[in-house]
Amino acid sequence: MKRVIKFTLNGEETECYVQDNLTMLDFLRKDLHLTGTKRGCEEGECGACTILLDGKPVTSCMMLAAEADGHDIVTIEGIMKDGQLHPVQKEFIDKWALQCGFCTPGMVLSAVALLNENPDPTEYEIRDAIAGNLCRCTGYAKIVEAISSAAEVIRKER
Amino acid sequence: MAMTSKEYYKEIEKVYKKPEDYELAGKGNAYVRIDAEAKVTGRAIYTDDVDLPGMYYCKLVRSPYAHAKIKGIDFTEAWKVPGVKGVLTGKDFPEGHNLGNPEAFKELADKEPLCRDEVRMYGDEVAAVCATSEEAADEAARVVKVDYEVLPAVLDAFEAMKEDAPAVHYAGTNNISMFTTMQGGDPDKAFAEADYTDKYYYQTQQMVHCALEPHGATAKYENGEWTIWTTTQGAYVSRYWIAWGLGVSESAVRVIKPAMGGGFGGKLDVFAHELCPAKFAQMTGHPCKCILKRDEVFLGTRTRHPIAFEIETAFTKEGKLLAKRCKHVLDGGAYGGSGIAANALSLICATFPYKVENIDMTARRPYTNKPAAGAMRGYSACQVHFAHDVHMDEAADALGIDPLKLRQINAITPYYTGPTGLQFTTCAFNETLEKVAEAIHWDDRDKQPEGTGIGIAGSGFMSGTGFPVLVTPHYCSASTMVRLNREGYATVFTGANDIGQGCDTVMTMIVAEELGLRMDEVKCVQADTTLTPWDAGSFGSRVTFLAGNSTRRAVGDAKLKLLTHWAGEWDCKPEDITMKDHRVFVKGDPEKNISFNEACYGYEEKNFGRCVAGVGSFAHEGDKDIYVKNRGNYAPAYSFSSSGAKVKIDLETGDINVQDFVFAHDCGRPLNIRAVEGQIEGSVLLGLGFTCFEKCQYDKNGKHLNPTFRDYRFPTALDMPHITSIICGNPDPDGPMGAKEAGEGSTAPVGPAIANAIARATGIKFHSLPIDPENIWRALKQKKETGVNHYGDEGLAEKFASMPDVKPMRPNVK
């Protein structure tokens, strides 16, 4: 069965036909060709497919596309503003907070969600916010450093 | 007479930038990764992101038994699934074209692209289907009927070596895939004369790489030629085996390595998920993609060898290590592949970072009906240094010598030659020990509260492994081409395979540094067998050293050509000319000062339009029969490292809290400090996972019980300690800009440092991994009830004692 869903995708009003049993991950990657959302485990464990649902990080492999109806969805493709990198993206680059990069889109989105809610997080709060995003390369040290530094940048901008 | 290559390289060296003039190499934040922006924006293209028009999806059918005969395969139901376009069995691939590692013996190419008559592990690939959608392919694979005759399986390495054990591959071989021995000096005499001797047993568990990106490949077939995008650590290695498996010439296969979501050794071998979509692409005329599900990565790719150890050592009472005897038994799983090197590496690793002149060591690698073991970051070193460095603490305790001092007494020193022929160059091992001891407050180790412990450990690793894994007869070289463009940029064509570690950035930096260009004025073309020159792959910590040197020679070749031309114009020597800030000039002479663009243009004008281009290659000069002789020098240099850990153990629950972690690494000149720190921090994660978290579990029939991230846990951001990285040592004269490796050696001392800290916190010597809360709780309970203060080596002495006397042999295939 297919149904029509209306939702906001990266700031744009969107209307699509989706199969009832299609996951949000497959919808983004296969139907919309938004491949920045990564497929790591398809069981909600690794966080590589993290997107923002009404501002909260969720694993898109554990969600049906149909559930997006009426909601606000942000993917990694949607967090640059006016062609400028988000401070979290910029600090990930400057601090070498990535290696293979497969966890990076999900990691960046979890960090953006955290900083939207809490612009002055403790190290523990940062680690807690990305505890659902597995990274096998970095040991998380530079990721934590980059998020902390992005928080500082955002606070100064405000 | 023509100049020899060595003479030519000497000429090139004259125009190399001097270390005091480096603007990028060795600096902290002088540049960022060239792929960073693509990765933070989600634009980087990985294998699963390659979509082609008309593409089909391939799904593999896997064995539900650890060992069975295939009696028949029935695709009737599969063909009924709407959208199914093709099916494959082992018989669709040419017979005898097995995959593997024939490095030492050709029989070690032991893996059929799809099993023809027999499956040897749970998850072995039996058949494949392709369909217009992933869902249809999944459904069709599910309904393929395979008729099996179940055979007895052997799941334990010691059981596998018994005379009456079922043969995994070759009958009458005790299932030994590889037997390795290394001897030196007179160990019997040394043991007889020693003040102190001992014998200990250890064992490690099976672990999986868990790169976040699952393995996969996308293939197309056009004009009689394949193009394959695949998750590989070596594009040329993959091409060799894909062509062999398909039975076609290498020139008919182009392999492109897209962005890679991690490798850690797990993406070196070649797999059915690469060969089957390639075959389907040819059969159907449609491109075909096969991406593994996470459980398939656990079942069907590679694992880290579990190793059981018997270690005997002899010391003087002052603490000099006189002799070592050891036996290593490596559980090889069902196939050889990259795993064949594990034996020799395990013994080599036992000969350093501590000097030992008298050795008698053997390693056996039996096949079992479990997932195949292969290369994994810190290849053999992680297991060996866990056992041998925990052992150093036990010997120190018995000798009454400070464990730090015992390590320092025996530490390898610069330019030492080991008993099996390892030729060390620069070595700052002692410095790494000192720095770690200071930073972890080693002197306060006996003043810690109950349940808190401090541990240290050391290790070394090959820097620039000089021998191929998985490709013969190819040379284990790295090669590079560099082109200087008159429009103001350079292009580097590197064969090196960036698997996430950042070698594309390193190669770009070397070119930018030498030419005085900005990082974004150097374009990097990488790892594509049609575009880039030969490279043996990302393994053995070889990339920075070998490909780095190769890139420097390539850019040096181009630079020498350019500067020789301008030296003629300006009546000076090439080495008098500087390239800096996009300009080419003689210092202090404003008449001889032109832009990079003008310099290239001038050269081209004089040479009938020929562009300025350079080629370079680098290879370790070693004995190609090293895997047979087991003597020789494995690499052009060696890195050294030490770790210090502080842990707090909950003595009631066994819960582990790593409170502090210190890592000191001698990597020569760090080409980028943040990149080296990143390697160290990642190594601590891998080492902590190995030591306290990870283990593959099987039922009695060989079924994998935890092939998911839910049940196979590795450290999250909340599990990781604070890490202090200390970079030690001096530039290595043979390294590229003085660098040595930082990727693999850094994993090895993590485990023993944590294990030694836990031993000090609990008063219990843990002799097996993982040391997780459950095992700590059991060990504490055992100690309370029986007073026994070691744990995890139960039954090992008997297993080693009753091991059949297997003679050095090779599998004997008719």
d(CA B425, CA B636): 8
| Candidate from B214, B264, B717 with C-beta closest to A40 | B214
| Candidate from B36, B46, B264 with C-beta closest to A102 | B46
Per-residue model confidence (pLDDT) at position B476 = 83
Residues A55 and A115 grouped into a single domain:
no
- Chain centroid to CA A50: how far? 5
d(CA A130, CA A50): 11
Residues B363 and B509 grouped into a single domain:
no
Q: Is residue A115 included in any domain, yes or no?
A: yes
d(CA B681, CA B579): 35
Residues B634 and B777 grouped into a single domain:
yes
Confidence of residue B401 (pLDDT cuts 50, 70, 90): very high
Q: Is residue A82 included in any domain, yes or no?
A: no
CATH number for position A141: 1.10.150.120
Confidence of residue B474 (pLDDT cuts 50, 70, 90): low
ipTM of the complex: 0.98
Total Cβ atoms within 10 A of residue A12: 8
Confidence of residue B638 (pLDDT cuts 50, 70, 90): very high
Residues B376 and B444 grouped into a single domain:
yes
d(CA B47, CA B289): 9
Residue ranges, chain A, pLDDT below 50:
none
A-B contacts (CB, under 8 Å):
176
Residues A98 and A65 grouped into a single domain:
no
Residue B468 pLDDT > 80: no
Q: Which of A57, A77, A97 is the last residue of a domain?
A: A77
Confidence of residue B623 (pLDDT cuts 50, 70, 90): confident
Residues A127 and A92 grouped into a single domain:
yes
| DSSP letter for each residue of B38-59 | HHHTT---BGGG---TT-EEEE
Comparing C-alpha atoms, which of B747, B477, B508, B413 is closest to residue B616? B477
Q: Is residue B159 included in any domain, yes or no?
A: no
DSSP, collapsed to helix, strand or coil, labels residue B387 as helix
CATH number for position B609: 3.30.365.10
Residues B318 and B343 grouped into a single domain:
yes
CB contact under 8 A, B261 and A42: no
Tokens of A8: 């906001």
* Residue with tokens 């060989």, as numbered in its chain: B702
Residue B641 pLDDT > 50: yes
Residue B627 pLDDT > 90: no
Residues B537 and B463 grouped into a single domain:
no
Average pLDDT of chain B to the nearest whole number: 95
Residues A93 and A36 grouped into a single domain:
no
Identify the weakest region by mean pLDDT among A127-141, B90-104, B145-159, B427-441. Answer: B90-104
Confidence of residue B101 (pLDDT cuts 50, 70, 90): confident
Residues A108 and A43 grouped into a single domain:
no
Interface of B with A in 645-674 (CB under 8 A): 672, 674
Beta strand pairing call for B656-666 and B253-256: unpaired
Instruction: Tell me the chain A residues in contact with residue B708 when contact means C-beta distances shorter than 8 Å.
Output: 41, 43, 45
**Owning domain of residue B548:** 477-618
Residue B239 pLDDT > 90: yes
Total Cβ atoms within 10 A of residue B630: 20
Tell me what percent of the residues of chain B surpass a pLDDT of 70. 98
Q: Is residue B545 included in any domain, yes or no?
A: yes
Total Cβ atoms within 10 A of residue B247: 12
For the sheet with A2-9, list strands across it.
A12-19, A2-9, A72-74, A50-53, A56-59
Contacts of B697 (CB under 8 A, 6+ apart): B704, B705, B706, B711
Q: Are B292 and B327 in contact (CB under 8 A)?
A: no
Per-residue model confidence (pLDDT) at position B124 = 98
Per-residue model confidence (pLDDT) at position B810 = 54
Tokens of B260: 């890679």
User: How close B813 comes to chain A (CA, Å)?
Assistant: 40
Q: Are B757 and B646 in contact (CB under 8 A)?
A: yes
Contacts of A156 (CB under 8 A, 6+ apart): none
Q: Which of A40, A59, A77 is the last residue of a domain?
A: A77
Residues A68 and A91 grouped into a single domain:
no
Tokens of B592: 């001889």
Mean pLDDT over residues B12-20, rounded?
A: 96
Confidence of residue B103 (pLDDT cuts 50, 70, 90): low
Mean pLDDT over residues B13-35, rounded?
A: 92
DSSP, collapsed to helix, strand or coil, labels residue B248 as coil
Domains in chain A, number? 2
Instruction: Tell me the chain A residues in contact with residue B40 when contact means C-beta distances shorter than 8 Å.
Output: 85, 89, 92-93, 98, 101, 104-105, 108
| DSSP letter for each residue of B761-785 | HHS-EE-BS---HHHHHHHHHHHHH
CATH number for position A32: 3.10.20.30
Confidence of residue B814 (pLDDT cuts 50, 70, 90): very low
Residues B147 and B287 grouped into a single domain:
yes
| Candidate from B29, B259, B708 with C-beta closest to A43 | B708
Residues B582 and B451 grouped into a single domain:
no
Confidence of residue B813 (pLDDT cuts 50, 70, 90): very low
Burial class of B124 by CB neighbour count within 10 A (0 to 12, 13 to 18, 19+): buried
Residue B677 pLDDT > 60: yes
Mean pLDDT over residues B328-336, rounded?
A: 97
Confidence of residue B781 (pLDDT cuts 50, 70, 90): very high
Comparing C-alpha atoms, which of B238, B248, B234 is closest to residue B93? B248
Tokens of B387: 């056992």
Per-residue model confidence (pLDDT) at position B473 = 52
**Owning domain of residue A24:** 2-77
User: Would you put residue A42 in left (φ > 0), alpha (ψ -120 to 50) or beta?
Assistant: left
Per-residue model confidence (pLDDT) at position B1 = 56
Specify the DSSP class assigned to residue B544.
I
- Residue length of chain A: 158
Confidence of residue B811 (pLDDT cuts 50, 70, 90): very low
Q: Is residue B762 included in any domain, yes or no?
A: yes
Q: Are B390 and B765 in contact (CB under 8 A)?
A: yes
